[in-house]
């Protein structure tokens, strides 16, 4: 029987963590006679619930305990992860995201060491960090990129061997998502008004650039004050970006139009009740929230960031694509890109035939990411 472990940084509500959890649970439910799958979590933080075998390395993680934090980064993670690998003698250890990837490679024991790259990495690192990643990732037995554009980035910017890189899209348990959408959202249902609700899901961070869609709603307020934007997600460290978003809400007097609802363990119940899903990111790997919205039949408006949206939407066939912004950084002034997002939202709401077209296109494309198909690609990984 094949023994696999997935390594993630925490149980915090991010896309990489959700993919690893979904794969682990699916393998343990559907491939009991062929594979056992453990989840190794570096820090015991976050809101996700995992039903299956797991190992927590730092069980009492605290951002405030700097001595302990430094200890774990220097030696604690590596030593404990290596002990887990030795004890369980895995055939493959697959890590997700930068810290987990680094530790997985540094603690090689006797397994196939596989790292998964979840973002357009060159946009997220400075030159010193890029140099470190180039040197480190060459030691991995296999690299899984979440999109073709991410693979090309790894080859061009990090000089990694194309033969060691395999593209595997994110998997989705479509039946579970469709069932979860039926759950009640309680008093939050009051935020949905007159079939004009826009939604976005993701960690509140610079990467997600939620300020863009808030200003898009501001541009529509005078013409249609009933359009509502719901943002699901929370900031990982501190409140700096959340405060910037709240500043925009205050500046443009959008208290009735824009609502920051925080992390939701069941985002599908919220997405299913919305009318349009918007993605405004500076960069992505493979945007989970957008793909899950497509599975639920929501028309998409997405900025054409690197990478993922254009690949998923097939250059606009399955959703509306907005050209990438000239301006990446936060600004409180409404930009041409913000106006373009607003116009696309308004066009979908005003033209029922166009809305129905993209609704059907979303549902059609969403079926391509069924976990049953994609999980086999993970099981058949060869180094």
256, 217 Cβ separation under 8 angstroms: no
Q: Report angle CA 355, 356, 357 to the nearest 5 degrees.
A: 90
Please give the distance of CA 279 from its chain centroid, rounded to a whole number: 11
Does 126 share its domain with 139? yes
Percent of the chain with pLDDT over 70: 96
- Count other Cβ atoms within 10 Å, centred on residue 50: 17
- Count other Cβ atoms within 10 Å, centred on residue 243: 10
- The CATH number assigned to the domain holding 217 equals 3.40.50.2000
96, 20 Cβ separation under 8 angstroms: yes
Query: pLDDT: is 343 or 124 the higher one?
Result: 343
Angle of helix 148-158 versus helix 127-137 axis, rounded to 10: 100
Report the Cα–Cα distance between both ends of the chain, in Å, rounded: 18
Q: What is the pLDDT of residues 256-277, one digit of tens each?
A: 999 999 999 999 999 999 999 9
Query: 20: left (phi > 0), else alpha (psi -120 to 50), else beta?
Result: alpha
Note the pLDDT of residue 237: 81
Does 152 share its domain with 203? no
Whole-number average pLDDT of the chain: 93
Does 95 share its domain with 189? no
Q: What is the pLDDT of residues 318-357, one digit of tens each?
A: 999 999 998 888 999 999 999 999 999 999 999 999 999 9
Rounded distance, CA 48 to CA 208, Å?
Answer: 20
Closest C-alpha to 36, from 66, 6, 70: 6
Does 351 share its domain with 298? yes
Does 244 share its domain with 120? no
Note the pLDDT of residue 49: 83
Rounded distance, CA 252 to CA 211, Å?
Answer: 12
Does 163 share its domain with 200? no
Q: What is the pLDDT of residues 227-239, one digit of tens each?
A: 999 999 999 888 9
In SS3 terms, 51-71 reads as CCCEEEEECCCCCCCHHHHHH
Note the pLDDT of residue 21: 92
Note the pLDDT of residue 48: 83
Does 229 share its domain with 349? yes
Does 375 share its domain with 362? no
DSSP secondary structure, 305-333, as one string: -BSSHHHHHTTTTSSEEEPPPS--S--SS
The tally of domains found in the chain comes to: 2
Does 186 share its domain with 165? no
Please give the distance of CA 227 from its chain centroid, rounded to a whole number: 26
Does 212 share its domain with 322? yes
Does 156 share its domain with 194? no
Q: What is the pLDDT of residues 182-224, one digit of tens each?
A: 999 999 999 998 899 999 999 999 999 999 999 999 999 999 9
In eight-state DSSP terms, residue 262 is: E
Please give the distance of CA 2 from its chain centroid, rounded to a whole number: 28
Does 163 share its domain with 198? no
Q: What is the pLDDT of residues 93-119, one digit of tens each?
A: 999 988 999 999 999 999 999 999 998
Q: Each residue of 73-103: b (16+ CB within 10 Å) or e?
A: eeebbbebbeebbeebebebbbbbbbbbbbb
Q: Could you tell me the residue range of the domain that residue 299 belongs to?
A: 182-369
Residues 6+ apart with CB under 8 A from 211: 244, 245, 248, 280, 330, 331, 332
């Amino acid at each position: 029987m094949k023994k696999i472990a997935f390594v993630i940084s925490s149980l915090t509500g991010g896309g990489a963590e959700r993919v690893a959890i979904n794969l682990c649970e699916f393998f343990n439910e559907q491939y009991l006679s062929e594979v056992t799958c453990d989840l190794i979590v570096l820090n015991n933080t976050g809101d996700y619930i995992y039903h299956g075998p797991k190992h927590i390395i730092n069980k009492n993680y605290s951002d405030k305990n700097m001595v302990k934090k430094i200890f774990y980064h220097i030696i604690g993670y590596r030593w404990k992860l290596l002990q887990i690998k030795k004890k369980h003698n895995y055939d493959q250890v697959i890590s997700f995201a930068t810290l987990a990837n680094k530790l997985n490679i540094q603690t090689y024991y006797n397994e196939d060491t596989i790292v998964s790259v979840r973002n357009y990495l060159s946009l997220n690192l400075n030159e010193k960090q890029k140099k470190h990643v180039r040197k480190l990732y060459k030691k991995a037995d296999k690299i899984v990129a979440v999109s073709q554009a991410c693979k090309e980035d790894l080859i061009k910017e990090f000089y990694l061997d194309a033969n060691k890189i395999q593209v595997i899209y994110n998997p989705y348990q479509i039946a579970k998502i469709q069932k979860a959408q039926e759950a009640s959202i309680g008093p939050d249902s009051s935020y949905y008004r007159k079939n004009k609700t826009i939604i976005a899901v993701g960690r509140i961070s610079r990467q997600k650039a939620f300020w863009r869609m808030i200003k898009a709603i501001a541009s529509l307020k005078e013409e249609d004050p009933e359009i509502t934007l719901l943002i699901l997600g929370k900031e990982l460290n501190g409140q700096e970006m959340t405060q910037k978003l709240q500043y925009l809400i205050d500046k443009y007097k959008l208290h009735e139009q824009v609502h920051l609802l925080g992390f939701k363990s069941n985002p599908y119940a919220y997405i299913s009740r919305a009318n349009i899903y918007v993605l405004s990111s500076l960069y992505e790997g493979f945007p989970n929230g957008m793909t899950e919205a497509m599975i639920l039949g929501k028309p998409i408006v997405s900025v054409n960031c690197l990478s993922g949206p254009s690949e998923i939407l097939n250059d606009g066939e399955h959703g509306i694509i907005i050209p990438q912004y000239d301006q990446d950084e936060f600004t409180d002034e409404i930009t041409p890109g913000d106006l373009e997002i607003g116009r696309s939202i308004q066009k979908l709401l005003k033209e029922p035939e166009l809305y129905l077209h993209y609704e059907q296109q979303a549902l059609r494309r969403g079926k391509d990411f069924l976990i049953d198909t994609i999980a086999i690609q993970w099981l058949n990984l060869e180094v």
